[in-house]
């Protein structure tokens, strides 16, 4: 690979983001998929297998009961299931932040013509975990409040802060500085970002429906858990890398910043 120094694009282009995102993935498929499996797919698989093992004894008597612990007639099981589900949700949330930060590192390294390494990406992600969590919490609260008010403000806030985590990892601006940086970078490109994320969501839903239908033909046991973990890994990987590429694209549009300059900041 060679260093990628691009001309300053005239505007944010969805097609260019797609091309760059899948180019990064194709050049580093083992690394990207490995990170996605570690931080997203594996935890999902463990939880799915746990749920199957706990609910399997009741499935024979009432298959529908496996989808609703409250119908099993055992309050302790319902409480235990709910507590573990909440705990899994929190752990998954934290791991998703590590995945996004590690793939930001991998994306910039690749676009700069370097070979990203698994250990380096994970180390960078861990070092930024606390501020990344703070940004995600603040963004989440703002978006939820906006959605509760008029929906549209929530969507606009989500777009406004969509590259806050890449800005944090890349430029080390702190929590509020990174959110402000994301606000400035996305200004004038939010409709394009909206279109990009809508397309990505549609693709994710289509993949989930297709694989879900295929899995239903073979049963929803272990095979279903494996497929669900695989889908989660792939979709998380694509979304995280696309977000990182959006950050690079936005900097090039607004500032003409080359990938070389970005890599220097990240070194």
121 falls within a domain: yes
**Cα distance between residue 154 and residue 161, in whole Å:** 11
Whole-number percent of the chain with pLDDT over 70: 80
Tell me what pLDDT residue 259 has: 59
Q: Is residue 107 part of a domain?
A: yes
Residue 146 has what pLDDT? Answer: 84
Q: How confident is the model at residue 17 (pLDDT cuts 50, 70, 90)?
A: very high
- The lowest-confidence range among 10-24, 54-68, 185-199 is 54-68
Residue given tokens 């935890």 in the structure block: 43
Predicted local confidence at residue 211, as pLDDT = 74
For 145-193, the pLDDT digits (tens) are 888 877 788 888 999 999 999 999 888 889 999 999 999 999 989 999 9
- Mean pLDDT value across the chain: 82
Spatial contact of 54 and 77, defined as CB atoms under 8 Å apart? yes
Provide the pLDDT for residue 262. 59
- Report if residue 238 sits inside a domain: yes
Q: Where are the beta strands (DSSP E) in the chain?
A: none
Helix count (H) and strand count (E) of the chain? 12, 0
CB 131, CB 175: distance < 8 Å: yes
Q: Is residue 62 predicted with pLDDT exceeding 60? A: no
Distance between CA atoms of residues 80 and 125, nearest Å: 32
231, pLDDT greater than 70: yes
Using one digit for the tens of pLDDT, what is the confidence trace for 119-141? 999 999 999 999 999 999 999 89
User: Which residues constitute the domain of residue 103?
Assistant: 14-128+187-266
In a domain, 168, yes or no: no
Q: What is the pLDDT of residue 101?
A: 93
Residue 241 placed within a domain: yes
Tokens of 1: 């690979």
Give residues with Cβ within 8 angstroms of 262, minimum separation 6: 108, 111, 112, 170, 248, 251
Confidence of residue 254 (pLDDT cuts 50, 70, 90): confident
Tell me: pLDDT of 61 over 60: no
Please tell me the distance from the alpha carbon of residue 69 to that of residue 182, in angstroms, as a whole number: 42
Give the helix, strand, coil percentages of the chain, each rounded to 5: 85, 0, 15
Residue 65: pLDDT band by 50, 70, 90 thresholds? very low
Q: How many domains does the chain have?
A: 1
Q: Are 172 and 165 in contact (CB under 8 A)?
A: no
Within a domain: residue 99?
yes
* 150 within some domain: no
On whether residue 182 sits in a domain, the answer given is no
The answer for 151, left when phi > 0, alpha when psi is -120 to 50, beta otherwise, is: left
CA dist list (Å): 61 to 55, 73, 169, 188, 267: 11, 12, 51, 58, 59
């Amino acid at each position: 690979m060679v260093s990628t120094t691009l001309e300053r694009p005239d505007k944010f282009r969805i097609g260019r983001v797609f091309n760059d995102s899948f180019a990064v993935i194709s050049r580093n498929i083992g690394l990207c998929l490995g990170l996605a499996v570690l931080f997203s797919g594996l935890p999902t698989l463990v939880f799915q297998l746990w749920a199957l093992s706990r609910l399997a004894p009741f499935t024979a008597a009432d298959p529908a009961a496996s989808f609703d612990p409250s119908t099993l007639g055992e309050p302790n099981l319902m409480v235990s299931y709910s507590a573990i589900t909440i705990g899994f949700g929190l752990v998954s949330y934290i791991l998703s932040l590590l995945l996004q930060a590690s793939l930001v590192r991998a994306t910039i390294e690749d676009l700069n013509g370097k070979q990203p390494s698994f250990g380096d990406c994970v180390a960078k992600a861990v070092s930024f975990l606390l501020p990344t969590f703070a940004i995600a919490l603040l963004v989440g609260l703002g978006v939820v409040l906006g959605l509760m008010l008029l929906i549209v403000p929530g969507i606009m806030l989500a777009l406004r802060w969509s590259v806050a985590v890449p800005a944090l990892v890349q430029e080390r601006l702190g929590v509020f500085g990174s959110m402000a940086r994301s606000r400035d970078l996305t200004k004038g490109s939010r409709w394009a970002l909206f279109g990009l994320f809508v397309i990505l969501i549609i693709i994710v839903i289509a993949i989930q429906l297709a694989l879900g239908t295929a899995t239903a033909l073979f049963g929803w046991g272990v095979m279903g858990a494996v497929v669900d973990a695989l889908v989660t890994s792939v979709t998380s990987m694509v979304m995280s890398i696309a977000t990182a590429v959006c950050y690079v694209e936005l900097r090039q549009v607004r500032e003409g910043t080359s990938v070389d300059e970005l890599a220097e900041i990240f070194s």
